[in-house]
Amino acid sequence: MSPLEIARRFVDLVNAHDLDGLVAQLTQDHRFIDSLGTEIRGRDTVREGWRQYFRMVPDYRVDVVRSFSDGPEVVLLGVARGTYTAEGELETRNTWSTPAVWRALVRNGLMEEWQIYADNEPIRRCMTRGSA
């Protein structure tokens, strides 16, 4: 599979919330970098981060509209969306959507790095409402 195909497969696993499948696609020393620049390292640590995120945004999904690759590096453009929940109930008032860009680095057929560039304000507003 090409790096672009691997990145697209990764997105499919994220959208399916297939935690085991997603983690199986990560290098042991995987790096996840969020839109604030916070870096999480290591397959097990990243697994826990995704598990918590899927609990917080149980309908999270990535919609890719364009993609580019240059060797092992892939760039995906699209929209991130979901519904924030603190109590496990999905309320339409806590649904958010934001344009996003993902940068992937593929090594030996696995995801070495996954980085997201997105505006966190839409989900932050939902979190504020949810805690009020």
CATH number at residue 90: 3.10.450.50
Query: Does 110 have pLDDT greater than 50?
Result: yes
Tell me the pTM: 0.89
Domain count, the chain: 1
Question: Cβ(112)–Cβ(105) under 8 Å?
Answer: yes
Q: What is the DSSP string of 41-97?
A: ESHHHHHHHHHHHHHHSTT-EEEEEEEEEETTEEEEEEEEEEE--SSS---GGGEEE
Q: Report residue 45 as tokens.
A: 């640590």
pLDDT at 86: 77
pLDDT-above-90 percentage for the chain: 77
**CA atoms of 70 and 115, how far apart (whole Å):** 16
Domain that holds residue 27: 3-131
